[in-house]
Amino acid sequence: MSQEENLPFNEKYTLPPYKETYRRSLEDSERFWKEQALELEWTKPFSKVLDESNAPFYRWFPDGLINITQNALDRHVKTWKTNKAALIWESESGESRTLTYGQLFNEVNRLARALKDLGIKKGDRILTYLPLMPELPISLLASARIGAVHSVVFSGFSHQAIADRINDAKAKVVITTDYTVRRGKKIPLKQVVDEALKQAPSVEKVIVVKRPHFEDTKMTEGRDVYYHELVSRTGYKKVEAEETSSTDPLFILYTSGTTGKPKGIFHLHGGYGLWTYLTTKWVFDLHDNDVFFNTADIGWITGHSYIVYGPLQVGATTLMYEGVPDYPNPDKWWELIEKYNVTVFYTSPTAIRSLMKYGEEWPKSHDLNGLRILGSVGEPINPEAWRWYSKNIGHNELPIVDTWWQTETGGIMISATPGLGNYMLKPSANGLPLPGVEADVINEEGTRAKDREKGYIVIRRPWPGMLAGVWGDPDRYISTYWSKFKGVYYPGDYAVKDEDGFFFILGRADEVLKIAGHRIGTREIEDVLISFPGVAESAVIGVPDPVRGEVAVAAVVLKQGYEPSENLKKQILSHIKDNLGSLVIMKDIYFVTKLPKTRSGKIMRRLIKSVLSGQQTGDTSTLEDETSLDELKKIINEFE
Q: Which of 109/348 has CB closer to ligand PRX?
A: 348
Q: Which of 90/493 has CB closer to ligand PRX?
A: 493
d(C-alpha 52, C-alpha 30), whole Å = 13
d(C-alpha 523, C-alpha 510), whole Å = 11
Contact 552, 585 (CB under 8 A): yes
Phi and psi at residue 391, to the nearest 5°: -70, -50
What is the number of helices (H) and of strands (E) in the chain? Answer: 23, 30
Q: Which of 256/343 has CB closer to ligand PRX?
A: 256
Q: Which of 169/583 has CB closer to ligand PRX?
A: 583
- Written in H, E and C, the secondary structure of 500-542 is CCCEEEEEECCCEEEECCEEEEHHHHHHHHHCCCCEEEEEEEE
Q: Which of 114/377 has CB closer to ligand PRX?
A: 377
Least Å from the CB of residue 351 to ligand PRX: 13
d(C-alpha 538, C-alpha 530), whole Å = 7
Check the CA dihedral 188-190-193-198 and report its sign: negative
How are beta strands 96-100 and 439-442 bridged, if at all?
A: unpaired
Q: Which of 140/412 has CB closer to ligand PRX?
A: 412
- Written in H, E and C, the secondary structure of 442-508 is ECCCCCECCCCCCEEEEECCCCCCCCCEECCCHHHHHHHHCCCCCCCECCCEEEEECCCCCEEEEEE
How many residues in the chain?
640
Contact 217, 209 (CB under 8 A): no
Q: Which of 310/378 has CB closer to ligand PRX?
A: 378
Three-state DSSP class for 178? coil
Q: Which of 378/399 has CB closer to ligand PRX?
A: 378
- The identity of residue 329, as a single letter, is N
Beta-sheet strands, E only, within 231-378: 249-255, 263-268, 291-294, 317-322, 344-347, 373-377
Least Å from the CB of residue 507 to ligand PRX: 6
Three-state DSSP class for 342? coil
Neighbour tally for 639: CB within 10 Å: 8
Contact 253, 272 (CB under 8 A): no
What share of residues in the chain are helix, strand, coil (percent, to 5)?
A: 35, 25, 40
Q: Which of 175/512 has CB closer to ligand PRX?
A: 512
Contact 610, 636 (CB under 8 A): no
For residue 263, list its beta bridge partners.
255
How are beta strands 173-177 and 179-182 bridged, if at all?
A: unpaired
Least Å from the CB of residue 437 to ligand PRX: 14
Least Å from the CB of residue 430 to ligand PRX: 6
For residue 320, list its beta bridge partners.
89
Contact 214, 179 (CB under 8 A): yes
How are beta strands 344-347 and 400-403 bridged, if at all?
A: unpaired
Least Å from the CB of residue 415 to ligand PRX: 8
How are beta strands 432-433 and 503-508 bridged, if at all?
A: unpaired
Q: Which of 241/400 has CB closer to ligand PRX?
A: 400
Applying CB under 6 A, which residues contact ligand PRX?
255, 300-302, 376-380, 402-407, 430, 491-493, 505, 508, 514, 519
431-459 burial, b if ≥16 CB within 10 A, otherwise e? bbbbbbbbbbbbeeeeeebeeeeebbbbb
Least Å from the CB of residue 401 to ligand PRX: 9
Give the DSSP letter of residue 418: G
Least Å from the CB of residue 397 to ligand PRX: 21
Peptide bond into 328 cis (omega under 30): yes
Least Å from the CB of residue 429 to ligand PRX: 10
By C-alpha distance, which of 223, 181, 183 is closest to 201?
A: 223
- The identity of residue 428, as a single letter, is S
Q: Which of 338/408 has CB closer to ligand PRX?
A: 408
Q: Which of 300/333 has CB closer to ligand PRX?
A: 300
Least Å from the CB of residue 412 to ligand PRX: 8
Least Å from the CB of residue 376 to ligand PRX: 6
Give the DSSP letter of residue 14: -
Least Å from the CB of residue 256 to ligand PRX: 8
Least Å from the CB of residue 380 to ligand PRX: 4
Q: Which of 172/514 has CB closer to ligand PRX?
A: 514
Least Å from the CB of residue 536 to ligand PRX: 31
Q: Which of 322/402 has CB closer to ligand PRX?
A: 402
Residue nearest to ligand PRX (CB): 407
Least Å from the CB of residue 477 to ligand PRX: 15
Contact 279, 301 (CB under 8 A): no
Q: Which of 390/406 has CB closer to ligand PRX?
A: 406
Least Å from the CB of residue 409 to ligand PRX: 8
Three-state DSSP class for 186? strand
